[in-house]
Amino acid sequence: MTRFIFITGGVVSSLGKGLASAALAALLQARGFKVRLRKLDPYINVDPGTMSPYQHGEVYVTDDGAETDLDLGHYERFTGVASRQSDNVTTGRIYSDVIAKERRGDYLGATIQVIPHITDAIKEFITSDLHGEDFVLCEIGGTVGDIEGLPFLEAIRQLGNELGAQQTMFIHLTLLPYIPTAGELKTKPTQHSVKELLSVGIQPDVLLCRADRPLPENERRKIALFCNVHRDAVIPALDVETIYQVPISYHEQGFDDQVCKHFGLDAPTPDLSRWHDIHTRLTKPEGEVTIAVAGKYTGLLDAYKSLGEALVHGGIANNVRVRLKWVDSEIFEREDTVQILEGANGILVPGGFGERGSEGKIRAARFARERKVPYFGICFGMQMAVIEAARNLVGLDKAGSTEFGPSQHPVVGLMTEWMKGNELLHRQSGGDLGGTMRLGAYECVLKPGSRVHQIYRADVIRERHRHRYEVNTNYRSALEEVGLVFSGMSPDGLLPEIVEIPDHPWFIGVQFHPELRSKPFDPHPLFTSFIRAAIDQARLV
């Protein structure tokens, strides 16, 4: 039997509902259960693909090519379960599906309404595409009380009613603010938030209360009394040192016990050795390296969520702390690159879109190449490194990317057709922006004897993509002559997936996003190797 756990949030946004859901899933998994995580987003966009990283943070891409909410990244990092297209839905997607059905006449002339048509579509989403999971954890985006969230709350209320308490559970995440003048953690916002939930017919079974200090027994009992839950079902969620400590902390507070108790499950205590090991490595590192990340959206680090985590994972693998220095690449266009990058043990240019800041990234790549500092170029970061080599090594001063307009030497350009397995896929320039990218996992064949071949210890790899432009193979031989190696290609040999410079301590550019597959307990080999190279660099200076 699949049980459904619904996670809602109240009081304020940004309480870490995604992390809470992921950590609970990790605990249930550690008790031997098969878990799945899903996110229901109330906004009207059909998917987050076209949303600005400044507003919504990173777009997380799944193997099957869905552009999803960044919380799905937390889910994968905490459980190792690969997310799918069917794990994230928005109001926009639900409505567009329902409207398409209405246009086809599927509803036989009925008047289409929020209840039951929209709520039915939401319930259908929650309960479809399951594969013998013991638990499906559904996080509802937004905060209780938002207008957009109402149909989702109504849908989960209905499911709770239809499936019963033995198959459904409601968890509500709230905040207990500390008021210094009173010297107390305040429970009133939590009481109000629960009242809001009750007004749409949902009585939470467990309250997860974020607080920056321990919850006194008195306040705990008060919350239980006013919110109509058992005292043991009021779980303090205290701030912790690292996000990977959250499962440990939740378990200590009895969170997973409460869930098992609710469902009447007699499960063994979880084996948390994996999380203890990660916590020790993070809090007792043997050294430190500094990585400069030259990006564009450095004002909102959520835009690079998976990247930041993957770098931390590289540190876990090597037992070092990774200090990240976020640099807005535009600064290299105004100030001295050398001075800003001098102390970095590694330079990473991440994915990005648009011309702004691109010249700065090209300068950062040049600095790394010439000064022999480890360089990791991801997607846009690979494209900029190739443009840099074309300009400064091949001598094509006008080398550029057609992403920025027509170019005399388009070393990066738009491909309009490519193969995915045996299927020919097309892309139109000037078409709709949504859904025009090369998305999802693609195979890549590694060149025997290359650095990436040694790093991956595999001949063929699969990595996730999200981009429109590709390195133009017309310039391949010119670039190879000056020392670049095309060490990873698509199976048909048409699309360059990896370039490297062998005559350099560590210089690798990849067209895909390896950060999306890295996990704290299974760091991505490229990040492990990059941080290793940074350690070597630190020893040399």
Residues catalogued as catalytic = 379, 513, 515
61 near ligand GLN, judged by CB under 6 A: no
427 near ligand GLN, judged by CB under 6 A: no
CB of residue 302 vs ligand GLN: minimum separation in angstroms? Answer: 16
- Rounded to whole angstroms, how far apart are CA atoms 31 and 145? 34
- Rounded to whole angstroms, how far apart are CA atoms 373 and 366? 10
Q: Which is nearer to ligand GLN, 69 or 403 (CB)?
A: 403
17-30 helix and 273-283 helix, angle to the nearest 10 degrees: 130
- Rounded to whole angstroms, how far apart are CA atoms 529 and 455? 7
How long, in residues, is the chain? 541
- Give the footprint of ligand GLN on residues 327-356 (CB under 6 A): 351-353
Q: Dihedral (C-alpha) 37, 38, 41, 46: value to the nearest 10 degrees? A: 130
Q: Which is nearer to ligand GLN, 337 or 401 (CB)?
A: 401
3 near ligand GLN, judged by CB under 6 A: no
For residues 468 to 497, the per-residue mask of contacts with ligand GLN, x marking binding by CB under 6 A and - elsewhere, is xx----------------------------
Is the previous residue joined to 520 through a cis bond, with omega within 30 degrees of 0? no
119-127 helix and 91-104 helix, angle to the nearest 10 degrees: 110
Q: Which is nearer to ligand GLN, 160 or 360 (CB)?
A: 360
Q: How many residues bind ligand GLN (CB under 6 A)?
A: 10
Amino acid at 78: F
CB of residue 523 vs ligand GLN: minimum separation in angstroms? Answer: 21
Please give the sequence-ordered ranges of beta strands (E in DSSP) within 216-309, or none if there are none: 234-238, 288-295
Of 38, 266, 257, 262, the residue nearest 169 (C-alpha): 262
Burial class (CB in 10 A: 0-12, 13-18, 19+), 77: buried
CB of residue 422 vs ligand GLN: minimum separation in angstroms? Answer: 24
CB of residue 63 vs ligand GLN: minimum separation in angstroms? Answer: 16
Of 153, 61, 166, 152, the residue nearest 379 (C-alpha): 61
- Rounded to whole angstroms, how far apart are CA atoms 316 and 4? 33
For residues 448 to 467, the per-residue mask of contacts with ligand GLN, x marking binding by CB under 6 A and - elsewhere, is ------------------xx
Three-state SS annotation for 73-114: HHHHHHHCCCCCHHHEEEHHHHHHHHHHHHHHCCCCCCCCCH
CB of residue 424 vs ligand GLN: minimum separation in angstroms? Answer: 20
- Rounded to whole angstroms, how far apart are CA atoms 442 and 117? 37
CB of residue 532 vs ligand GLN: minimum separation in angstroms? Answer: 24
Q: Which is nearer to ligand GLN, 263 or 353 (CB)?
A: 353
- Give the footprint of ligand GLN on residues 379-418 (CB under 6 A): 379-380, 403
Q: Which is nearer to ligand GLN, 347 or 379 (CB)?
A: 379
Q: Which is nearer to ligand GLN, 11 or 378 (CB)?
A: 378
Q: Which residues are at the interface with ligand GLN (CB under 6 A)?
A: 351-353, 379-380, 403, 466-469
